[in-house]
Amino acid sequence: MDISIVIPLYNEEESLPELSAWIERVMKDKGFSYEVLFVNDGSTDKSWTVIENLQKQSPAVHGIKFRRNYGKSAALFCGFERAEGDVVITMDADLQDSPDEIPELYRMITEEGYDLVSGWKQKRYDPLSKTLPTKLFNATARRVSGIHNLHDFNCGLKAYRKEVVKNIEVYGEMHRYIPYLAKSAGFNRIGEKVVHHQARKYGKTKFGLNRFVNGYLDLISLWFISTFGIKPMHFFGFLGSLMFVIGFVSVIIVGANKLYSMYHGMSYRLVTESPYFYLALTAMIIGTQLFVAGFLGELISRNSTERNRYQIEKAI
């Protein structure tokens, strides 16, 4: 099979028939063998009934129905598990992503050798309250991830080699950082294509401003896990040792200052009367706790089934 199209959705009953017909037209014009996987993320409208009717009309249409709303990452994860096409396309169900972009995305994967191609909605039909935070978010994501050629991490329209989606785990709200997940798994050939962005035709957006706050928290988590997930002692042990040394040296300085004053007959205070003593003691305690946290992290990591899971591209 050439293409699997994974479409997560939540309450998009109006747009599904039009989107399905548009995809079918494009696929038949280009002669692709394909499947469409609609992942119904706990919709409360008639989305699932529409998907069932579409499946009766076309054997290429398939559906997955969640009992409740789990989020876009969960929908993509289940869609990736079911996908069988050599190239996997993801897109939103609200008709803001154009299926006409699919053939070129497919070509970039199969002919230009990309592992992943992300869409870039260079001209957006969104309010300023959404576009400005998006630009700031993407700038931060580029810097943290090191993927400097992507302008729109959160674009739902993406194309992947099959091997990519089978070797990454999308969870929580990490769908925003699939390029970063792919890079961490060793898929470094990541490209970008300017895609057409259309104004929403039906319903209203399902995402609020809180996604930007959650997005930054997820980015920090992903950076930490990808950098120190297998070696937590390198992070906590270093910080703990640094804090302990600073506190220990500070205690010595406080004690030495008192001894110097006593030896030269100068007035002095008790060590316990100095606020620096308690600051130094606190630094030593925090340093010890961080070191122990790193040690415990190493014990947990050593017993993790994922510890020696590496991305092996070929074996002969």
- 261 or 316, which is more confident: 261
Beta strands 3-9 and 34-40 are parallel
Residue 139's pLDDT band, with cuts at 50, 70 and 90, is: confident
Q: What angle do CA 141, 144, 146 make, to 5 degrees?
A: 95
Domain ranges of the chain: 3-228, 232-302
Residue 85's pLDDT band, with cuts at 50, 70 and 90, is: very high
Identify the CA nearest to 195 among candidates 147, 159, 143.
Answer: 159
Predicted TM-score (pTM) of the model is: 0.71
CB atoms within 10 A of CB 33: 11
The dotted CATH code for 3-228 is 3.90.550.10
Q: Which residues lie closer than 8 Å to 100 by C-beta, 6 or more apart?
A: 26, 196
Q: Which residues lie closer than 8 Å to 28 by C-beta, 6 or more apart?
A: none
pLDDT surpasses 80 at 156 = yes
Residue corresponding to tokens 């992947």: 160
pLDDT surpasses 70 at 117 = yes
Give the pLDDT score at 207.
55
Give the pLDDT score at 314.
42
Residue corresponding to tokens 């035709």: 201
d(CA 305, CA 302): 8
Summary mean pLDDT of the chain: 85
